[in-house]
Structure 1
């Protein structure tokens, strides 16, 4: 798909991603003077995150002032709150890598229409790699069409993941998952930027990826790029309700199914109250997000949900006080 053939909304997203990437690249040359704040233990935000996000929002709203915004650093503070179109933005995914000079981080921008992601851009400024997709038109890295890997056996698979890092994360639960996956596959990798990890699944570098605790802006763009490259994306039980479930699996179809089979017992059901808490936290990113209640197994880890179906993500009731979940 040539640049001229790109969807106009995708072209605007690419322009915004490259502008943010330029800010990030300039800042990366002088990290010693970088101002860093701590949102929570091991969760950082820099003036670069904020400047990149501001540049993205400015470009998007200049082109589409009637659209909504959901951004990591400013929540829903910008744009039209009740629009059917919503841009989902992570201006710098991999901030911890960035402030250490470890060159694995990216800009992630997605556009959802009526809760379905339609356009996606993930830009790696250190390599000038542009991953992008339009729903129904395939996924690309620069000008090369992407396809997920063709491996079919877990014993041959390279799996990406992300380690839990926030206070209150259930490390025992994660270590059990990690042990099960690691003993089945050829190797596990953890570079530290989930949006890029998803693109690596789309490109066939990984055969699958899984992580817990992610937010919509971490996965919205990458998930479309994976599916447009022929892959599958879902929560730990294989259902498509992953955007607000805070757990995700992505992979080539054969390997995806085997990872789901392994991780399904570790899935946790997200309740409507949890979803509301997440929505409030997105609006007030400096506030304290309420912790979800989860069942405990005898060993203290989160238990698999009792015989309950996965919670579907539903659009909020239309009223003056409501807003779409995505």
Structure 2
């Protein structure tokens, strides 16, 4: 059985405490669907309440650390080298529509490197966690990325741009290129869980553009500690703070990169023509 460090226990306790309020609020979303105003404001308040609680819990345990949070932005601590990167509710649209696929994501960055991460999916009570050099786990079970090598056997996940966000034409070109080669593509709507599922071998790979650091920080560490590859689609190695992310097992990094890069090159040539 895996033994969690004091640091991971701090993160786990904070996530579990915030989850109680979110689960309670999630139970109310179905009733709010029928109201004229809709549940958007309610969900926003649930998000803010969870973020406030997470800040309080993490600050109590490590008062010297700073924060980078989805709702309240960045704040520095007395230790300029350490900060928590937090998404209190990843999968807000799922939450809003009563879909039970959303998570709390907490990562710790030290000296520019993600050293610990927790992704908690409360409805299924799945606590994914990893610490640099110590492996990746769900609850107390060790995680390993899949061993699939042939694209035709692989299931990939992605994120689809929506109204007012992202390059719709570019995404459709990427999806068309990928879907011809793989067993399937899934879009579940919570980047942190997509990455956790790659770490668990449930997905063989995942790609997305335009994420924020709090979407990817904890999940990226889960994948690397489970033996996988995480980088940027174009070959960069800073996916948490870059413009894109690609996570795969080690066998699929090259073929999936080639597929996506081929699309990008074609679009670039087309734009210049």
- Give the TM-score normalised by structure 2: 0.92
Is contact 1:67-1:86 (8 Å) kept?
Answer: yes
Q: What are the Cα deviations for residues 57-99 of structure 1, in whole angstroms up to 9, with x where unaligned?
A: 100001111101000000014x517621110000000000001
Match of 2:66 in 1: 68
Match of 2:49 in 1: 51
Is contact 1:89-1:217 (8 Å) kept?
Answer: yes
Greater share of residues in helix: 2
Distance 1:82 1:8 in 2: 19
Q: CA deviation at 1:298?
A: 5.9
Match of 1:36 in 2: 40
Q: Does 1:187 align with 2:206?
A: no
Distance 1:257 1:298 in 2: 22
Match of 2:98 in 1: 101
SS at match of 2:245: strand
Q: How many residues were matched structurally?
A: 265
Return 251-260 or 134-143, whichever deviates more: 251-260
Q: CA deviation at 1:10?
A: 1.2
Q: CA deviation at 1:239?
A: 2.7
Q: What are the Cα deviations for residues 276-313 of structure 1, in whole angstroms up to 9, with x where unaligned?
A: xxxxxxxxxxxxxxxxxxxx74645xx8xxxxxxxxxx
| 1:237 aligned residue (217, 234, 238) | 234
Q: Does 1:9 align with 2:7?
A: yes
- Give the TM-score normalised by structure 1: 0.77
Q: CA deviation at 1:256?
A: 2.1
Distance 2:172 2:243 in 1: 17
Matches within 5 A, 1:258-273: 258-265=255-262
SS at match of 1:96: helix
Closer/same/farther in 2, CA of residues 266 and 247 from structure 1, 3 Å limit: farther
Is contact 2:205-2:249 (8 Å) kept?
Answer: yes
Distance 1:6 1:231 in 2: 21
Provide structure 2 residue ranges, at least 5 long, that are not aligned to the other structure. Answer: 33-37
Q: CA deviation at 1:166?
A: 4.5
Q: Does 1:163 align with 2:176?
A: no
Match of 1:151 in 2: 148
Match of 2:170 in 1: 173
Q: What are the Cα deviations for residues 222-264 of structure 1, in whole angstroms up to 9, with x where unaligned?
A: 0000000000000012331212222100011111221111112
Distance 1:129 1:135 in 2: 20
Match of 2:119 in 1: 122
Provide structure 1 residue ranges, at least 5 long, that are not aligned to the other structure. Answer: 38-43, 269-295, 304-326
Is contact 1:70-1:89 (8 Å) kept?
Answer: yes
Matches within 5 A, 1:154-303: 154-265=151-262, 297=268, 299-300=270-271
Q: Does 1:27 align with 2:25?
A: yes
Is contact 1:69-1:81 (8 Å) kept?
Answer: no
SS at match of 2:246: strand
